[in-house]
Amino acid sequence: MYWKNDWTIESRRNFLDWDEFAKRKITLDKFQINLERGDNIGTAGVGDDEARKQMVKILNEIKNFLVS
């Protein structure tokens, strides 16, 4: 999985392979999605908090599909 962050997001990288993604805890932390281990997806341009929550929900649904 790849994503693009702007310069304001401190993140170790901008990709995870599916196996690694399936092992991560996905949470919302203000204006970014935290994928643990220093990996974050910036969401400042997404819209409101509800849109960010929906992104986390979708990522968790993908993760659940991968582990099943």
User: How much is the pLDDT for 1?
Assistant: 94
Domain residue ranges in the chain: 18-67
User: How much is the pLDDT for 47?
Assistant: 87
Q: pTM, whole model, 2 decimals?
A: 0.88
Per-residue pLDDT tens listing for the chain (68 residues): 999 998 989 887 999 999 999 999 999 998 999 999 999 999 988 889 999 999 999 999 999 999 98
User: How much is the pLDDT for 65?
Assistant: 95
Identify the three-state secondary structure at position 35.
coil
User: How much is the pLDDT for 18?
Assistant: 96
Nearest to 3 by CA among 19, 21, 30: 21
Task: Return d(Cα 47, Cα 51) in angstroms, integer.
Answer: 6
